[in-house]
Amino acid sequence: MSEQEIKVPDLGGADEVEVIEVIVSAGDSVEMEDPILTVESDKASVELPAPVAGKITKVTVKVGDKVKEGDVVGMIEASGESGGSDDQEEPQQEEKEEQSDETPEAEAEEKQSAPKKKSGGSRKETVKVPSLDGFDNVPVIEINVSEGDTVEVEDGLVTVESDKATLEVPSPYAGKIEKILVKEGDKLSEGDDLLEMTVEDEGGDEEEEASSEPAPKKESKSEGGSGAKPEKSEAPQPQGSTYEPPSPGTKVHAGPAVRKLARELGADLTRVKGSGPKGRILKDDVHAYVKSQLQQAQQGGGVATGSGIPGVKLPDFSQFGEVERESMSRMMSATATNMQRSWLNVPHVTQFDEADITEMESFRKAQKTAGEKKGVKMTPLPFLLKACAAALAELPQFNVSLDMERKEVVRKKYIHIGIAVDTPNGLMVPVIRDVDQKGLWELAAESAELAQKARDKQLKPAEMQGACFTITSLGGIGGTAFTPIVNTPEVAILGVSKAAMKPVWDGSDFQPRLMLPLSLSYDHRAVNGADAARFTNLLTQLLGDIRTLLL
Ligand code: CAO
């Protein structure tokens, strides 16, 4: 076991490059060639490999540091049989030197394949693979052009990827793609034929197009700041760390290992938010993105997730006045998610009606003394619970849930009803079981007890589960109507507003009647409008003559 320095190898001509990702930490075990760091020049993102298999004992650089060939970036304790450090480093170094020795030849070859001076007209050119930053036999992962396309100098032709870097081969000419000579998966080396082009000559004695400095066009270049010099200026070079995503114009800032991971997991990098320096996408970002997508898909039952609805962009509110921020409570954030899920998944319709509760209210008020004896307050809620239970029994299409994955309707043989309770911590919905089997006093006592438990944060999870339907009453507060959001996977919810005295025509006269506004929101996939009107109709009959609740 011997400790050795990890040095920056030949950087394919770049002088100084920036460390954009530190992949390992002290204590990590690595195999030979496992990536240690990612560095980025204005040409490419490259992962620096472990020179030997072993344990990292020290990392001496951090993100943002500039390094050059020969710099020590850390220490590694070589494991067992992988042998002496020098033996391991040497061949690699030689290999690199061989590659850099080849560079002048490559340059010469590129110059040969660069456009020649012409005095007008067009000519055929075979575009060859330029120097690939020392890489050989690298597979084509993407062909960015089609036959017949017109391209400009520097437009990306194909993307190749070694296990260390992703490189885009730019066009050395402006012209038309005649024939593509490679396909995805082909392995390319410097000098291989790539494609044939018809190149338009602008004529005159102008300089060769390809001799001009390639204009920066990729994110890794435009962000600059690396201080790395272009490898060569004579001919266009492969552009590193680029990937042409499906949506045109979207740029992705990620290293080869991250791209590889994203491809393996099927993640679209254009949708992943980078948390690295300059918004660079890291492996953790890809993992987090995939995890969130899976969670959303599971929670949403595969419906309406990934709907592509653009998020709401927030302005800088402080430009309008003083603001302060506070974290959402867990309950607020859970409610927000539930509301949004329901709103996006359920086609909502709200049916409005009014019930004449004049008699019901006289009866309720007459129970005041009895209530005091029992220690229970009789509010309109128990009557609403009883009426809804009767309506659910009469119109069982409201007592269902939809299983869209299996294309099944789940019919419930029980009647449990949730009641929305306004608490200082947010909205909670305890559930009263078997409402159809309980009397008004029992319902009054149970709803008061559950509402109190909700306010005291004493509800158990089981007390908030299993509802078939929900009642949300704002009657004690005010308002004439509202459009409640269905508490999925239920298919309907009854909103109740404040009862008010109104003149009601009885056929010969206007009579003062206490009218209770009802707002029934329903999932239009499960319930049709006629049934919704029947449901509220039935409620108004039951509440209008509470004797019918006994039938
Ligand atoms: N019209 C007129 N008065 C009404 C009424 C109505 N529809 N509903 C209740 N009232 C009266 C009650 O009779 C009571 O008056 P008295 O004290 O004079 O008898 C008063 O309003 C307060 O009632 P309450 O709210 O204490 O009791 P409740 O059984 O009607 O409601 C509960 C219980 C838990 C539903 C309620 O307290 C609550 O939290 N409501 C808010 C629910 C909510 O926030 N929904 C919105 C969800 S969507 O964001």
- Residue 208 domain-assigned (yes or no): no
pLDDT, mean of residues 537-549? 95
Domain match, 403 and 533 both: yes
Q: Give yes or no for residue 77 having a pLDDT over 50.
A: yes
Domain count, the chain: 4
The residues that bridge with 399 in the sheet, in sequence order, are: none
Domain match, 284 and 391 both: no
Domain match, 14 and 163 both: no
Domain match, 484 and 541 both: yes
More confidently predicted of 177 and 143: 177
At 13-50, the pLDDT tens digits run: 677 888 888 888 888 888 888 888 888 776 667 788 88
Measured at the CA of 82, the angle between CA 81 and CA 88, to 5 degrees, comes to 150
What CATH number does the domain containing 135 carry?
A: 2.40.50.100
At 490-523, the pLDDT tens digits run: 999 999 999 999 999 999 999 999 999 999 999 9
Taking the CA of residue 419 as reference, the ligand 1 atom at the shortest distance is 35
Whole-number Å distance, alpha carbon 514 to ligand 1 midpoint, is 16
Contacts of 334-340 spanning 24+ positions with Cβ under 8 A: 335/426, 335/427, 337/299, 338/487, 338/488, 339/485
pLDDT of residue 43: 62
Q: Is 468 in the pocket of ligand 1 (CB under 6 A)?
A: no
Q: Is 379 in the pocket of ligand 1 (CB under 6 A)?
A: yes
pLDDT of residue 310: 81
Measured at the CA of 282, the angle between CA 280 and CA 286, to 5 degrees, comes to 115
Most informative mutation of 425, 473, 521, 543 for ligand 1 (most atoms within 8 A of CB): 473
Domain match, 380 and 504 both: yes
- Residue 377 domain-assigned (yes or no): yes
**DSSP letters for 16-62:** EEEEEEE---TT-EE-TT-EEEEEE-SS-EEEEEPSSSEEEEEE---
Mean pLDDT across the chain:
81
- Residue 216 domain-assigned (yes or no): no
d(CA 381, CA 372): 17
At 344-395, the pLDDT tens digits run: 999 999 999 999 999 999 999 999 999 999 999 999 999 999 999 999 999 9
pLDDT, mean of residues 191-220? 56
Q: Give yes or no for residue 222 having a pLDDT over 60.
A: no
- Residue 77 domain-assigned (yes or no): yes
pLDDT of residue 306: 55
pLDDT of residue 21: 81
Taking the CA of residue 377 as reference, the ligand 1 atom at the shortest distance is 19
Q: How confident is the model at residue 531 (pLDDT cuts 50, 70, 90)?
A: very high
* Cβ contacts of 113 within 8 Å, gap of 6 or more: 125, 126, 127, 128, 172
CA dihedral over 487, 490, 492, 494, signed as positive or negative: negative
pLDDT of residue 420: 97
Domain that holds residue 502: 339-550
Q: How confident is the model at residue 278 (pLDDT cuts 50, 70, 90)?
A: low
Confirm if 161 and 260 have CB atoms less than 8 A apart: yes
pLDDT of residue 160: 80
pLDDT of residue 101: 37
Q: Is 335 in the pocket of ligand 1 (CB under 6 A)?
A: no
What CATH number does the domain containing 360 carry?
A: 3.30.559.10
Q: Give yes or no for residue 190 having a pLDDT over 70.
A: yes
Domain finish residue from 73, 104, 135: 104
Question: What is the number of H-type helices and E-type strands within the chain?
Answer: 10, 28
Q: How many CA atoms lie within 13 A of 35 on its CB side?
A: 21
Q: Give yes or no for residue 215 having a pLDDT over 50.
A: no
Taking the CA of residue 498 as reference, the ligand 1 atom at the shortest distance is 1
d(CA 212, CA 235): 8
Most informative mutation of 356, 367, 379 for ligand 1 (most atoms within 8 A of CB): 379
Residue type, 83: G
Q: Is 473 in the pocket of ligand 1 (CB under 6 A)?
A: yes
pLDDT, mean of residues 460-481? 96
Least confident segment among 91-105, 223-237, 275-289, 413-427: 223-237
- Residue 331 domain-assigned (yes or no): no
Domain match, 127 and 84 both: no
Q: Give yes or no for residue 240 having a pLDDT over 70.
A: no
Q: Is 466 in the pocket of ligand 1 (CB under 6 A)?
A: no
Q: Give yes or no for residue 182 having a pLDDT over 70.
A: yes
pTM attached to this predicted model: 0.54
Domain match, 98 and 126 both: no
Domain match, 347 and 460 both: yes
Domain match, 347 and 425 both: yes
Domain match, 294 and 396 both: no
pLDDT, mean of residues 444-451? 97
pLDDT, mean of residues 50-63? 90
More confidently predicted of 107 and 296: 296
Domain match, 100 and 130 both: no
pLDDT of residue 171: 87
- Residue 218 domain-assigned (yes or no): no
- Residue 114 domain-assigned (yes or no): no
Domain match, 294 and 375 both: no
Q: How many CA atoms lie within 13 A of 234 on its CB side?
A: 15
